[in-house]
């Protein structure tokens, strides 16, 4: 199956930018997603990018995709304490019709 990997922890100060990184293995056409999970809650879709794109911006969120290195990043501008959560990178493709999730990056935002 596919392998999606993320760093486990990130700590930033309120107002700074956060960058969460992810690597994936599938080389075919896929969609790459970022989900947010707050304590005791389910998954909230934040944003996504198709594998033929390089960048996508959505308000405070910027997704960058390096197809050659199979590296995906999520940048959160002006990080707030409410952004503290676990962020999951996930890959989805029509050829496998399911999500492969990373283990999640726990973002801690200090006031």
Q: Which residues bind other proteins (CB under 8 A)?
A: 1, 4, 31, 33, 40-43, 45, 48, 88, 90, 92, 94, 97-104
The minimum distance between CB 103 and other proteins, in angstroms, equals 5
Kindly tell me which of 36 and 70 has the beta carbon lying closer to other proteins.
36
Contacts for 40 with CB less than 8 Å, ≥ 6 apart: none
Q: Which two tokens stand for residue 19?
A: 């960058």
Q: What DSSP assignment string belongs to 12-54?
A: EETTS-EEEEEE----SS-EEEEEEE-TT---EEEEEEETT-S
Q: Tell me whether strands 55-58 and 61-66 are parallel, antiparallel or unpaired.
A: antiparallel
Kindly tell me which of 61 and 101 has the beta carbon lying closer to other proteins.
101
The minimum distance between CB 76 and other proteins, in angstroms, equals 19
The minimum distance between CB 50 and other proteins, in angstroms, equals 8
């Amino acid at each position: 199956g596919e392998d999606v990997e993320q760093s486990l922890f990130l700590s930033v100060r309120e107002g700074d930018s956060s960058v969460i990184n992810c690597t994936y293995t599938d080389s075919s056409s896929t969609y790459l997603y970022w989900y947010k999970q707050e304590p005791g809650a389910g998954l909230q879709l934040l944003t996504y990018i198709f594998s033929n794109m390089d960048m996508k911006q959505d308000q405070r969120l910027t997704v960058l995709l390096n197809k050659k290195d199979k590296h995906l990043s999520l940048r959160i501008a002006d990080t707030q304490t409410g952004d503290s959560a676990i962020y999951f990178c996930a890959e989805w493709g029509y050829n496998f019709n399911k999500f492969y999730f990373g283990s999640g990056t726990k973002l801690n935002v200090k006031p």
